[in-house]
Structure 1
Amino acid sequence: MNKTKCFLTALPVFILAYIIISYSEIFTEQEEYPKNNCTKQCPAILSGEASAFQFGEQCEKQGLKIFHIQIPINCSRIELERNFITSSLSEEEASYPLAYIITIHKEFEMFVKLIRAIYRPENVYCIHVDQKSPEDYQRKVKSLTGCFQNIFLASKMEYVVYGGFSRLQADINCMKDLVNSTVAWKAVINLCGQDFPIKTNREIIQYIKNKWNGKNITPGIQQPWYLKYRTEYRYKEEMKDGEAQIYQLNQKKTAPPLGLTIYFGTAYYVLTRQFVKFVLEDERAIALLEWSRDTYSPDEHYWVTLNRLKDAPNMIPNVTWDGDIRAVVWAPMAGPTYDGCNGYYRNNICVYGLRDLKWIIQQPAMFANKFEHSTNPLTVACLEQWHRERVLSQTSETIQPHWYLRD
């Protein structure tokens, strides 16, 4: 009887303790570290020291700082614990807010690192999540973005097919949302989840304002003959056995609408707010968008073609490949190569490894692509550490303790 009485007396205490522990586990972001503090090697790795590479590559094999997030997220703690910069770092940045369109489909940890690297409270961010992404991934992204007033999910999501119109449509969807934003952003930059900045927010703004005089940046040239197959034949996107595919139909397309001359360039850009409104409203832009629906990789001709129209806002009359948007190392025969790839190739683009970092931080580009946190976590961690130190060194504002990244 006494034992039963003791048990019944203690039962509410056990239940309360269980609830507290469970609540804590739900709202706690956990991290796992290897035994060695690998990030201490980052300065030597960035300098290109051979011994640091050897140690770092062992760390890569162990895995590094795996970020776990459980739902629901504790929004009151997320900014502090995830080291987000929570105030403007200069008057120049505060007076020139940027908009970002970020298309993602995998690696939640990489998304967290990218968004906190470019996050500023004066900016605005539209996140497009590929509808093919696992439900758990989509749920995590939705939970994280819900903690910030200036980060939101696109109002319409696409099943994105590599090389298909859906990739272009994803950007258009975000643009429609951004033009209605209360943030008075000056320019929009599009990214994917495997990008990472190598310029600070302040340097990006100075690059846009000073080198480009606030014009649109859409690197490219008139469409060369060997790429005309992309727009001369019709293409079709489809989901088959759970895989997104695009294939060419044996049907020729009509000529481009309204006598437009087609150009070829990158899918990535910097566009002014006035130009974005033009894209969404101008008759030629709308006609070109419709005509592009069954072309191959239309995001590589759409922006650069419109930026050559003489009456387009902030247009560049003689677009060339000039415009340091992204540092990319292509596979041999797939595009221009630089110092080769010290990681591995995926879709003919280098996924950077530790030995690429010295080259990356010397590039004039605003961003580098591509990175995979799951396979090269220390590569991402070292670049992230270098970038945050650079950001904080450029501000005269009082630095908050949580702005420093933890080892």
Structure 2
Amino acid sequence: MTRRCVHQARHRCFLLSLSLLAVCLLKLVHVKVTLRDGIYYDVAGGFSGTDGAQAYDINCTGVYELDPVEVGKALAIKRKVTVNVDDDGTVALTSDCQTFVTARGYGGVPVSEAERGFPLAYSMVVHKNAPMVERILHAIYAPHNVYCIHYDQKSSPAFRRAAQNLARCLPNVFIASKLESVEYAHISRLNADLNCLSDLLRSEVKWRYVINLCGQDFPLKSNGELVSELKQLNGSNMLESSRPSKLKRRRFSFRHELKNVPYEYRRIPVKTAAPKDAPPHGIEVFIGSAYFVLSRNFVEHVSSSWVAKDFLAWSADTYSPDEHFWASLVRVPGVPGHVARSEADISDLRSKTRLVKWNYLEGNLYPACTGEHMRSVCIYGAAELRWLLNYGHWFANKFDPRVDPVLIRCLEEKLMEKRKAPGYSPNINITIGCAKTTQQTQQDEKEDTIQRMKFPVDLLAGVSQAELERLAHNYMEDLLYSNPDSPEHLVLSDSTQVRPTCCTSALPQPPPSCLHRIQRTARLLHQ
């Protein structure tokens, strides 16, 4: 009897140990960010669930082509899924470097000879959301480039560990040697980039251009495409540089003091009544953004220039100096790749550094935001995928998986497609319950992808809106309703067939008259 009890105890201990080991392995290899309603989202971009009721197969090509079924499903997922950012998950994912590098494919990034001969450097100034930082790094990664990560001294311990693990696992990634406690619109934000630039100049990698990113940016071009376009700059720089308005002149005409404030940022530079002296060395102040693409020659010149150092010191008590420092220095005569002061303004639409959508310009300069707004800036939604990829910019801001996880995954997929990475998969599968995995299903999905809409959107810019809507309506009627059993019909779990009415615009963004039809499809999916 005693022997039997001992045997049972050992058996239970063995099962318990095995269960704990399985949990640890799952945490390490397939880190998940837990979501509500039985759905989770993993770092590799997939969706799964636990209730066994429905299956969502989002086709990114369909989203790109503004297929109403795919866009509608993306909207349904956006409403149903809430991502809880988990820095600890990224810490676990990166704790075993070999597993991390293999699982995320860092060791198999294809690189051309043209890319190897034109290495790039990145300054990543980040402070939160480690899973998103890793996804940005993964999207821009190439083994011959070099990457500096500057994390805020105020960042959480888990975020700092995640960043340190990334640097430990990838030999061409490192943490900035000097870290700032970054405050909004303060000189500390500019200093963070300058710290990385100083470290990058000491790197063994002889990079040609340096690009700075924040934690809500994402690339719109592959590394190869970016290299091809950067070569055409012939040593010049790419950044915004415009003459300041009367309102923006106040940012650098008066001294500012860092003070506590009772709202979001808690500490920001506040304007005082004390006027500032004129900028040193006769520098004319231009304004732009914090984002830049700078040549190595320009960075080397600035790092050793007393003019630049004096201007930096003068800028210390201004508001958001990162938005005028680079924009002004690039206009100084004699700097590598300088822009003459007499030349026209370089706005954010002319500069390819960052595509930002402001709500007060939506409907005039670009289509409406399909995600959410934060301080007048659009956090992009999935319906903007085509517009983002076709606009011509190199990077865009802002992205947030908590606002729209489908868009980021589709951007990842399109970049993978361009890079022709091994193991590339044309679809993401968003599944609640058991996903289809049979060979027949894969073949059906492949045929479905081939048959998806190939409407010549960008060739119809000169056609009237009414004619475009009529053409789109006729096309979708033919495509969707010619066969009642067509896979383009969306079949819900209760066998209900959803036949969306025409809502495919011949513009990169569906017009408002179409959006309610997409949303109706999304509501049906959500029920």
Deviation at 1:85, TM superposition (A): 5.8
Q: Quote the Cα distance in structure 1 between the aligned partners of 2:125 and 2:363.
A: 23
Structure 2: state its 5+ residue gaps: 33-39, 41-46, 430-527
- 2:254 corresponds to which of 233, 251, 262: 233
What SS is found at the alignment partner of 1:203?
Answer: helix
Name the residue aligned to 1:339. Answer: 367
- More deviation in 165-174 or 232-241? 232-241
Deviation string, structure 1 residues 369-396 (Cα, Å, up to 9, x no partner): 111112211121112212221222xxxx
1:37/1:199 Cα in 2 relative to 1: closer, same or farther (>3 Å)? farther
Q: Quote the Cα distance in structure 1 between the aligned partners of 2:126 and 2:100.
A: 20
Q: Quote the Cα distance in structure 2 between the aligned partners of 1:333 and 1:61.
A: 26
Name the residue aligned to 1:269. Answer: 292
Q: TM-score, normalised by structure 1?
A: 0.89
Deviation string, structure 1 residues 48-103 (Cα, Å, up to 9, x no partner): 12232221111122328988434362110212212336345211100000000111
Question: Aligned AA for 2:345?
Answer: T
Q: Quote the Cα distance in structure 1 between the aligned partners of 2:425 and 2:180.
A: 34
1:295/1:26 Cα in 2 relative to 1: closer, same or farther (>3 Å)? same
Deviation at 1:38, TM superposition (A): 4.3
Q: Quote the Cα distance in structure 1 between the aligned partners of 2:71 and 2:362.
A: 28
Q: Quote the Cα distance in structure 1 between the aligned partners of 2:308 and 2:427.
A: 43
Q: Quote the Cα distance in structure 1 between the aligned partners of 2:363 and 2:250.
A: 18
1:209/1:138 Cα in 2 relative to 1: closer, same or farther (>3 Å)? same
Structure 1: state its 5+ residue gaps: 393-398
**Contact 1:221 1:264 survives alignment (8 Å):** yes
**Contact 1:38 1:56 survives alignment (8 Å):** no
- The list of structure 1 runs, each at least 4 consecutive aligned residues, that deviate by more than 6 angstroms after superposition, is 64-67, 333-336, 402-406
Deviation string, structure 1 residues 282-334 (Cα, Å, up to 9, x no partner): 00000011111110111111112111122212323346313211111112179
**Contact 1:107 1:374 survives alignment (8 Å):** no
- 2:386 corresponds to which of 358, 362, 367: 358
Name the residue aligned to 1:396. Answer: none
Name the residue aligned to 1:187. Answer: 209
**Contact 1:60 1:378 survives alignment (8 Å):** yes
Name the residue aligned to 1:109. Answer: 131
Q: Quote the Cα distance in structure 1 between the aligned partners of 2:110 and 2:414.
A: 20
Q: Quote the Cα distance in structure 2 between the aligned partners of 1:319 and 1:124.
A: 33
* Pair 1:133-2:155 in alignment: yes
- 1:309 corresponds to which of 302, 316, 332: 332
Q: Quote the Cα distance in structure 2 between the aligned partners of 1:114 and 1:245.
A: 27
What SS is found at the alignment partner of 1:245?
Answer: strand
**Contact 1:200 1:391 survives alignment (8 Å):** yes
Q: Quote the Cα distance in structure 2 between the aligned partners of 1:5 and 1:349.
A: 65
1:114/1:38 Cα in 2 relative to 1: closer, same or farther (>3 Å)? farther
Name the residue aligned to 1:384. Answer: 412
**Contact 2:118 2:208 survives alignment (8 Å):** yes
1:335/1:187 Cα in 2 relative to 1: closer, same or farther (>3 Å)? farther
Question: Aligned AA for 1:264?
Answer: I
Name the residue aligned to 2:483. Answer: none
Q: Quote the Cα distance in structure 2 between the aligned partners of 1:151 and 1:9.
A: 46
Question: Aligned AA for 1:213?
Answer: N
Q: Quote the Cα distance in structure 2 between the aligned partners of 1:406 and 1:339.
A: 26
Deviation at 1:15, TM superposition (A): 8.0
Count of residues paired in the alignment: 400
Deviation at 1:353, TM superposition (A): 0.9
What SS is found at the alignment partner of 1:34?
Answer: strand
* Pair 1:34-2:55 in alignment: no
What SS is found at the alignment partner of 2:59?
Answer: helix
- Give matches, 1:189-268, under 5 Å: 189-210=211-232, 212-238=233-259, 243-268=266-291
Q: Quote the Cα distance in structure 2 between the aligned partners of 1:77 and 1:239.
A: 44
- Give matches, 1:40-119, under 5 Å: 40-63=58-81, 68-71=89-92, 73-84=95-106, 86-119=108-141
Q: Quote the Cα distance in structure 2 between the aligned partners of 1:256 and 1:146.
A: 42
Name the residue aligned to 1:2. Answer: 3
